[in-house]
Amino acid sequence: MKVKDVVEKLNLTVFGGEAGLDREIKGGYVSDLLSDVMGSTDEGTLWVTLQSHRNVVGIAALKDLAGVIIVKGFVPNTETLEDSDREGVPLLGTSMETFEVAGLLYRMLADDAELPG
């Protein structure tokens, strides 16, 4: 499943990093602790968080993540958007809470991989 499929199905806002929308998603990760994300994610991961500052894009780029979903309607500032455009890291937004978006995403990715459940 590609990032753009998730954008469409979950009706996400695309704040920036459109160049990365065609990327394949290999998994998901939920955390608001940046060193936890740094240590525990691998490339192609879609990261769900309520953090919306520049270091989020910095980490997503360094770790080659597939993109970031910012929850609860938080909006990143202009510098953060510019970073995501420059790095081609999709920065996405939703008014949903983490629990809801993670649940939906889990189902979509599990279906995609034809996992039981």
Partner 1 sequence: MKFEFDIADGDFAKAGTSSSQVKHILKQLNVDTKIIKKTTVAIYEAEVNVVAHAVGGGKLLADINLERIVVEVADLGPGIADIPQAMVEGFSTASPEVISMGFGAGMGLPNMRKNADKLEIISGVDEGTRVVITNYI
- Binding residue for partner 1 (CB under 8 A) from 8, 22, 32, 97? 32
Tell me: does residue 55 bind partner 1 (CB under 8 A).
yes
Q: Are 39 and 111 in contact (CB under 8 A)?
A: no
Q: Is residue 100 within the footprint of partner 1 (CB under 8 A)?
A: no
Q: State which of residues 11, 33, 103, 110 lies at the interface with partner 1 (CB under 8 A).
A: 33
Token pair of 64 as six digits: 């080659």
Nearer to partner 1, 35 or 117 (CB): 35
- 82's tokens: 């510019």
Element (H, E) at 111: helix 98-112
Instruction: Tell me the window of 49-57, 66-74, 91-99, 101-109 that interacts with partner 1 (CB under 8 A).
Output: 49-57
Tokens of 55: 């270091």
